[in-house]
Each structure stands twice: as C-alpha cells, then as structure tokens.
Amino acid sequence: MTSPLALIAEDEPLLAEALRAMLAQAWPELRVLPVALDGTSAIAAIVQHQPEVVFLDIAMPGATGLDVARACARLSRPPQIVFVTAFDRFALDAFDAAAVDYLLKPVQPDRLARTVARLRDRLDAPDDGALAQLLTTLRTRLQVSSLPVNGRADGVANDAAPGEVHGIATAQGATEVAAEVEEANEPAVLTVARERRDYLRFVRASVKDEVRIVPVEDVCFFEAADKYVVVATTDGDLLIRTSLRELLPQLDPSRFWQVHRSTVVNVAEVVSAQHTPLGRLTLKLRRRKDRVAVSRQYAHLFRQM
C-alpha cells in the first residue's frame, strides 16, 4: 500500500516546518507535500495532488481554512481534514466542515499523536467508493430479474429474505458472488454501513463559563447525574445538559457499551474486568484511576469468550 500523502496549509513558514517535523516523528511513513502558504494555493495543491490528509490553518490569506474545507467537500474523494489554529472560537465551524480533529497552537506531541491515530483509523477503514463498485459488481453477477433492487442507500434490499436480492441468481453467478464477498471481507462492508450512521463525533461540554469541544474518542465514560451527564475524560470531568437516555442512541454501540443503568463506557478504554471481594464486577480503565461498576444486567458483556 502506498504511504499516505499530506498537505500542510499554513501562512507562517516556521510553524509549518515545526508541524512537519512533529509529523515526521509521530507518523514516519507519511509523505508531506510542499507547504501551501495561503488558501488559494492549498485548494490548487489538493486538486492537483489529491492528498489523503490536509492540515489546515483557519486564518489564511486568499481563502480561509474553512473555505478550503468546504471546497474539499465537493471533491469525489475529499481528504481527511485537521484544523490547526490558535483560535478555539472556530471549533464549531470546523466540526460543521466535517473535520477529523481540531488542534490548538502550539501543538503538543501527545495531542498530535492522538490525531494521527484517529487519521490512521480513518484511512484504514474500507473505502466507500470501493464499496459502491463492489455492490455494482454483485448486482451484475447475480443477473437479477428485471425488477429493480428496491433497497436503502447502502444497496441492501429492505424486504429481501436473507441471501436474496429481488430475483433468482444463476448457480454460477451465486458462486462468483460468494467468492467476491469473501475476498472483499463482508464484515468490513457491514462496518461501512454502520459508519454511515450519523453517530456523535464530538461532545460540547461546559466547564465553568466556557464550552469545550471533546472528540468522543477522548471520553473514557459517561455517567448520569440527575438532569446532566458527566463526561469523564483523561483531562478531568465535564458536564453536558442532557440525559443518558437521550445521549445513548447518539453513540456508536460498537464503541460505547452501557454497563450500568447510569454508566456508558468507552470499551477501548477498558483494560480488565474484576470482581471485588463482595462479588461486584468493576472495570479497570486505561487512562483513568476510577473503577467503573458493572451491574448484573450487563455482566455478560465481560464473560470470558
């Protein structure tokens, strides 16, 4: 696989070179194009070179970073966008522009490392374009009847029985399809379908008189507290004014598991499950000292496989 390509758009050359040096440490295989010193140059470079990742300053001459991000959204293969700026007041606009992350200057190495991990996960995910091509191929191979496939946006028929696609496939076609699906890794296809749901990506949480924007990946667990929910992160606890009941459907169930009537945990943060001397099951977390209690109703989630 070719190493991913990135562009840094930054009107301050020294800051751009500092970010390039940090990326060389955090992501050695990443190839970085020459720095774009303004928004117009950034758009031209993105169209010409089609980088997978773009690090964007927001306040740039020519076109702002937000303008560049909106232009990227119209491309057939838009890059992953990370905003790097000194101004946190643009955070909500950045997330509206579908940014993967939002880094405040000066960028800290540990914070950049988390961003790089997030980008790697995105780039390793199955490609939507490849999925669409696969589905087109499958329909052709199946040689379905003249009835159209009456399905959802992901190409899966709503009312077809398992293994059927509104028609009868020839034996040869079915065999070829089975090979195609096995080769394409069907679980990955299902993962893409799930990823398309509009799950919560960021939490806006109050801390005294300010609002912080927290990526859900940085949340260790959510805990109900009357009319609020405590957002437990590695940097401390924040509050959001919603109920856990309202929050839960917005969270990706493959990442966030309800383990108690009042608690939802980020399963990636769970190191181990252990019974106390009184027989209660608790979870040890990777980046918090708290132990999270598991009720009997959810204990089966942590039984040995």
Beta carbons within 8 Å of 261's beta carbon, 6+ residues apart: 224, 295, 297
Q: Give the pLDDT of residue 166.
A: 34
Q: Give the pLDDT of residue 256.
A: 93
Q: Give the pLDDT of residue 143.
A: 42
Most confident of 41-50, 97-106, 177-186, 200-209: 41-50
Q: What stretch(es) of the chain map to CATH 3.40.50.2300?
A: 5-124
CB contact at 8 A, 105 and 86: yes
Q: Give the pLDDT of residue 90.
A: 57
Ramachandran region, residue 170 (left: φ > 0; alpha: ψ -120 to 50; beta: rest): beta
Q: What stretch(es) of the chain map to CATH 2.40.50.1020?
A: 202-302
Average pLDDT over residues 53-59: 93
Q: Give the pLDDT of residue 32.
A: 97
CATH fold, domain 202-302, is OB fold (Dihydrolipoamide Acetyltransferase, E2P) (2.40.50)
Averaged pLDDT of the chain:
77
- Over residues 133-185, the pLDDT tens digits come to 444 544 454 444 333 444 444 443 444 433 333 333 334 444 443 444 344 44
Q: Provide the percentage of residues in the chain whose pLDDT is more than 70.
A: 71
The alpha carbon torsion through 26, 27, 28, 34 (nearest 10 deg) reads -110
Average pLDDT over residues 233-258: 89
Between these two residues, 210 and 35, which has the higher pLDDT value?
Answer: 35
CATH fold, domain 5-124, is Rossmann fold (3.40.50)
Between these two residues, 212 and 183, which has the higher pLDDT value?
Answer: 212
What's the pLDDT band for 127 if we cut at 50, 70, 90?
A: low
What's the pLDDT band for 61 if we cut at 50, 70, 90?
A: confident
- Over residues 71-112, the pLDDT tens digits come to 888 888 899 999 998 766 655 555 555 678 888 888 999 999
Nearest alpha-carbon partner for 205 in 228, 185, 182, 234: 228
User: Which residues make beta-bridge pairs with 255?
Assistant: none
Average pLDDT over residues 219-229: 90
Distance CA 118, CA 120 (A): 5
Among 32-41, 91-100, 118-127, whose mean pLDDT is lowest? 91-100
Q: Give the pLDDT of residue 200.
A: 85
Nearest alpha-carbon partner for 10 in 69, 81, 83: 83
Q: Give the pLDDT of residue 94.
A: 54
